[in-house]
Structure 1
Amino acid sequence: MKKIIALGILALSVAGTASAQVKPEDQIKYRQAGYSFMSWNMGKIKANLEGEFNAQQVQAAANAIAAISGSGMGALFGPGTEKDIGNVRTRVKPEFFQNMDDVAKLATDLNTASNNLVAAAATGDKAAVQKAFGDTGGTCKACHDKYRAD
């Protein structure tokens, strides 16, 4: 258990150092790129659920979503990224930065849901994927509803 805690602290330290080395406008661009890629993969799963189901495509998309959600994207919400910078726009609400405990819970929920999506996709069971996909989308929506400006 002590090793897990130490690794967690080390990961947070590295993430903090990494974000300090990336300009705020680049942090915004990188996080937007990550979420766009995640959205694209959600769209691929949705298309498979609404049309011909290709378990291999669904599994690849689910793996990509889980990889992004577990990649430490939180490090890209550093100081200065709560507002537009030049021509780099952000839709994150200032409340995001004032409610970090809630944000951490939402991020954990996304990680859990996306890992469940991977497990469902690995079974090839369309009904299981449908449920896990809905749960994953719900975690995205929960954060968007609170912390994303229109």
Structure 2
Amino acid sequence: MRSVLAGALAVAVAAVSFTAQAAVSPEDQIKLRKAGYSYMSWNMGKIKAQVIDQSVAYDQQQILAAANTLNAIANSGMGALYGPGTDRQVGSQTTRVKPEMFDNFDDVAKLSGDLSRATGELVAAAEADDQGAIRTAFAAVGQSCKGCHDKYRMD
């Protein structure tokens, strides 16, 4: 039953993602995905400052909020923001995505799934208030991001 529900949810998310793509111009797709990744980066920085660098006092609620934000963005259907024509500059929006990403959506889907799993594990570690597990999960999220950046993001 659980796998049937998960499958139905995946179909619903995909349908909404494709509908959202059609309603958003290519320029806005680039703008929105850049905003999403910037917000993810900011939240990664909060976790890094508190748990890795320890340059800021540890606050479990802030870590949990940042982890939940990362997980929400990773599962938000941002793939809909990679529509036709978004592999190059559109209007005032530039992109660092490599054009070959658009020919490798199966690989991108796998990488997206890896990110989703990693952010879910980060949420679980933050909920448990286990700083060692948070460090491990944080590293996995970073590796997941790097895996996509190394293949599909221009410097």
- 8 Å CA contact 2:27–2:92 kept in 1: the answer is no
Unaligned 5+ runs, structure 1: none
1:62-77 to 2 correspondence within 5 Å?
62-77=67-82
Which residue matches 2:36?
A: 34
Going from structure 1 to structure 2, the CA distance change for 1:129 and 1:6 (only over 3 Å counts) comes to closer
Secondary structure, aligned partner of 2:37: helix
* Inter-CA distance 65–4: structure 2 relative to 1 (3 Å threshold): closer
Give TM-score scaled by structure 2 length: 0.92
The correspondence of residues 49-88 of structure 1 with structure 2, limited to 5 A, is: 49=51, 50-51=53-54, 52-88=57-93
Gaps of 5+ in 2: none
SS of alignment partner, residue 84 of structure 2: coil
Residue 23 of structure 2 is matched in structure 1 by 21
Residue 44 of structure 1: aligned partner = 46
Task: Extract structure 1 runs of 4+ deviating beyond 2 A.
Answer: 1-11
Percent pairwise identity: 55
Structure 1 position 142, deviation (Å): 0.5
* Residues in 1 aligned to 2:41 and 2:139: alpha-carbon distance in whole angstroms: 13
TM-score, structure 1 normalization? 0.95
Provide Cα deviations, 1:86-109, integer angstroms capped at 9, x if missing partner: 221000000110111100000000
